[in-house]
Amino acid sequence: MSIEKVSIEKFLELATTNPILDARSPGEFRHAHFPGAYNLPLFNDEERKVVGTAYNKQGRKQAIKIGLDYFGVKMRKLVEDTEELVHHRSPATVLVHCWRGGMRSEAVAWLLNLYGFKVYMLIGGYKKFRQYVLETFSQPFDFRMLAGFTGSGKTNLLHALARKGQTIIDLEELAHHRGSAFGAIGLPPQPSQEMFENKLALMLRNKFSNFIWLEDESQRIGSVIMPSRLWEQMQCSPVYFLDIPFELRLQQLKKDYGNLEKEKLTEAVTRIQKRLGGLETKLAIQFLKENNVLESFKILLAYYDKCYFKSLDKRKKVNKACNNIVCETVDDDKNVIKLMQALDNEPTKDTQTVLV
């Protein structure tokens, strides 16, 4: 059985049914990797540093000799770890890559092929995948933006659309952040910018419907940033704005955030005090201390409404396709019906007008 070197497109096609083995070091893998890949490092972080230094100072042959000292004692474990991953499937096929498709992936591919696995190697390695990811964000996409002031239940409604057969991408789920000063509370640590982009690009590439629903987010979601070219497309896409009364959204906000740790809520309020204002910050924190979450959130919701309105006003200057949907409740089932009705009545590009 020979080792077959394949393009990024073929590699990703094969990845739908076969495991990806990343031969890079654990540190490289932790920073970012193919979504769903397994780390099967030829060298650990320190070994990689030693081999790299030898390559730069003493040349390729000396680096290979040092690398063989590390590789030899790991051969059996690499094979056994791979056996566990393929779960005795027949044929036992694996996909292997390193940074550039060079010596690390070639060494691992040689060993696994020698043992009897069918091995595919990615031409150009992870570096080629990153090129593929970044090229994705310059492609044209057809989006529909789900908008609304804080507390409108946009994320829940997004998933209600998915249950109706609509194509969605949940940006907050990918970012591990809800998009406000309070957005990280209770969620896992955010991915690196690179890992966020990797996941987003594959989701975009896998969508085949006429358009994709996205929640109307700021370009920055916590510590990650939407790629600029993609963000520009989002800003010019049709907007569906959920027009829900303040009091209903306030109750929804209490439901979503009211049970979170008061200490973390207080820290979040403190982080926005320069924009919120001294008096409002003091009052919001005092209400939290008194366990009066509703009054604290009333101050915060008024602040976020003001911020979102400014953002929406800027959008309308470049995008006339804004559709206002009046909702009497924060109810997924009822609001998704209204949203689908508005979608059915979506005007053509020539007749769209600002309704918000």
Hey, how many other C-beta atoms are within 10 angstroms of the C-beta on 34?
Answer: 23
* Alpha-carbon span 323 to 105, nearest angstrom: 51
DSSP H or E run through 270: helix 262-271
Query: Where is 163: in which H helix or E strand?
Result: helix 154-163
Rounded to 10 degrees, the C-alpha dihedral 203/206/210/214 comes to -10
The catalytic position among 98, 236, 307, 322 is 98
The tokens describing 295, both together, are 């009054």
CB contact at 8 A, 51 and 70: yes
Residues in the chain: 356
Residue at 252: amino acid letter: Q
Pair of tokens at residue 260: 């979170």
Q: How many CB atoms lie within 10 A of CB 50?
A: 16
98 is catalytic: yes
Catalytic residues: 98
